[in-house]
Amino acid sequence: METIVKIQDVKKVYGKKNEKKTEALKGISFEVNKGEFIGIMGASGSGKSTLLNLLSTLDNPTEGNILINQKDVSTLKGNRLADFRGKEIGFIFQDFNLLENLTAAENIAVPLSLQGVKPKIIKREVQKIAQRLSIDHILDSYPTAISGGQKQRVAAARALVTQPTILLGDEPTGALDSKSAKDLLDTMEELNREDQVSILLVTHDPLSASYCQRILFIKDGVIYQQIQRGEKNREIFYRDILSALGNLEQ
């Protein structure tokens, strides 16, 4: 199996010299194989977003290594890092992060424009991913004129238009109503199953987590437990997750 992400004994301490120190991650190691759909769960403050920020190369670990597609990301700086991030990593956040003065199509096109891709190819790729996410009918709309669920689909299309190595999501369903959340999760599951998109999803929500194949539970900056869905259906896996969360609280 092809390993696309390798996290080796990663530690993260916040706070500069003479400031109060917070040890957010205390030695995390795991690997992501191509085509996996992994969930990260844990209480508030356990280090989930910290881990995702390191994986998305927006921040550096204090210790340890992160390899994405065999590349140690700490060796990249400036433009080369931005370029690598743009090509290899897609992210979706709770609050969509769309640019309000651009249409849906223009928002989706941003990462390709930044890479200097030709307009004709951009148009084709935007159409393709919009169709995949069932948002081709709202491509000319501005973010203020579409629903939360549609906004998150636009954000997902923007994250996927570059065909990144991995899609990272930090509570992407957090601001959605339950129907839109379920629709987005169904789509993510489909993209994972049919197009082998590798996904890492941070979530508080056991139902969202039940869509994943493997779940890592973080507590106080370390991986406390892992569970695998295997051949189980979602309902049974959901119950496994609840019971793992129960154990976590003790």
Ligand X SMILES: Nc1ncnc2c1ncn2[C@@H]1O[C@H](COP(=O)(O)OP(=O)(O)OP(=O)(O)O)[C@@H](O)[C@H]1O
- Of 42 and 111, the one with the shorter C-beta distance to ligand X is 42
Tell me how far, at minimum, the Cβ of 204 lies from Mg ion, in Å.
Answer: 9
CA nearest to 133, candidates 105, 157, 107: 157
* Count of C-beta atoms within a 10 Å radius of residue 47: 25
* Count of C-beta atoms within a 10 Å radius of residue 81: 15
Q: Could you give the string, one character per residue 4-23, with x where binding to ligand X holds by CB under 6 A and - elsewhere? A: ----------x-------x-
DSSP H helices in the chain = 48-55, 78-88, 104-114, 119-132, 148-160, 178-195, 206-209, 234-249
- Of 103 and 173, the one with the shorter C-beta distance to Mg ion is 173
Among 42, 61, 111, 169, binds ligand X (CB under 6 A): 42
Residue 123 tokens, joined: 């148009």
Q: Does 44 bind ligand X (CB under 6 A)?
A: yes
Q: Does 49 bind Mg ion (CB under 5 A)?
A: yes
What three-state secondary structure class fits 117?
A: coil
Q: Does 62 bind Mg ion (CB under 5 A)?
A: no
Q: Does 49 bind ligand X (CB under 6 A)?
A: yes
- Give the H or E element holding residue 192: helix 178-195
**Burial class for 224, CB neighbours closer than 10 Å (0-12, 13-18, 19+):** middle
- Of 49 and 62, the one with the shorter C-beta distance to Mg ion is 49
Q: How many residues bind ligand X (CB under 6 A)?
A: 11
Residue 116 tokens, joined: 């200097």
Q: Does 8 bind Mg ion (CB under 5 A)?
A: no
- Of 47 and 164, the one with the shorter C-beta distance to Mg ion is 47
Q: Does 45 bind ligand X (CB under 6 A)?
A: yes
Tell me how far, at minimum, the Cβ of 63 lies from Mg ion, in Å.
Answer: 21
Tell me how far, at minimum, the Cβ of 218 lies from ligand X, in Å.
Answer: 7
Among 46, 152, 162, 210, binds ligand X (CB under 6 A): 46
- Half-sphere CA count of 21, side-chain side, radius 13 A: 10
Return residues touching Mg ion (CB under 5 A).
49
Return residues touching ligand X (CB under 6 A).
14, 22, 24, 42, 44-50
